[in-house]
Amino acid sequence: MSSDLLRRVNDSLDRSRANAAHHPFFAHFLQKKTPEQVRRFAQQWYLAAKNHKVAFPHLVAITQDDETRRELIEILRDEYGNGDPDEVHARLLQKFLEEGIGMPLPSSGDAVPEIAAFGDKTLTMWRDADPVTAFGYHYALERIAQDIHKVFLHGLENGGFPLEVLKYFVYHSTAEEEHVRITKKGFDRYAADPSNREALLNGVTAGEQALAGMWDGFERHIFH
């Protein structure tokens, strides 16, 4: 039964407006972009990724199931380079901004409203929600992330950036698939208890809505 629920969730997320296949931001991102549009993207994606990084340890902390927590720690360790300081994901993204574009790192105050709202929502979900709803939110983000990073990589390769400064995007274009594989285990573990299913679905819906709102912000800020 839990696997049936996961299939239904995946089908819904694959059809969602938050998915890279269905939001106009991603189609526009694959097209030719001006240097200013790339700068705007880089600034806002750095802030979105930073907010996610700040919020994620709260999800680890509120998770009560030890095996699910272990799996989340595995993802967190990957975010921090699996022990290699040069591979910390935030540093790889910083390299893209500083060396690939030649721009300083933005401050939190530079976030457009939709990106700031995504950060606030994610922190609230992973710090204050019940663990099952928070995990459903996490699952939605991971499932959708496996496709968006491929679009980011292709859209930036089309802009002539060398792969060396795109290492963050190269890595995430495949690593997110592993994150989804890990996260599916936790989803099925929670969904095996029928009393968890409504909370899981509420979290998935919240994650889908938060991402769609953020993509609206990227579309507005970069392409309009």
Class of the CATH domain delimited by 2-223: mainly alpha
Contact 136, 203 (CB under 8 A): yes
Q: Which of 192, 180, 55, 31 is nearest to 116 (CA)?
A: 55
Ordered per-residue pLDDT tens for the chain, 224 residues = 567 899 999 999 999 999 999 999 999 999 999 999 999 999 999 999 999 999 999 999 999 999 999 999 999 999 999 999 999 999 999 999 999 999 999 999 999 999 999 999 999 999 999 999 999 999 999 999 999 999 999 999 988 898 899 999 999 999 999 999 999 999 999 999 999 999 999 999 999 999 999 999 999 999 99
Cα separation, 17 vs 23, in Å, equals 5
As a three-state string, the secondary structure of 82-118 is HHCHHHCHHHHHHHHHHHHHCCCCCCHHHCCHHHHHH
pTM: 0.96
Question: What letter does residue 1 receive in the DSSP assignment?
Answer: -
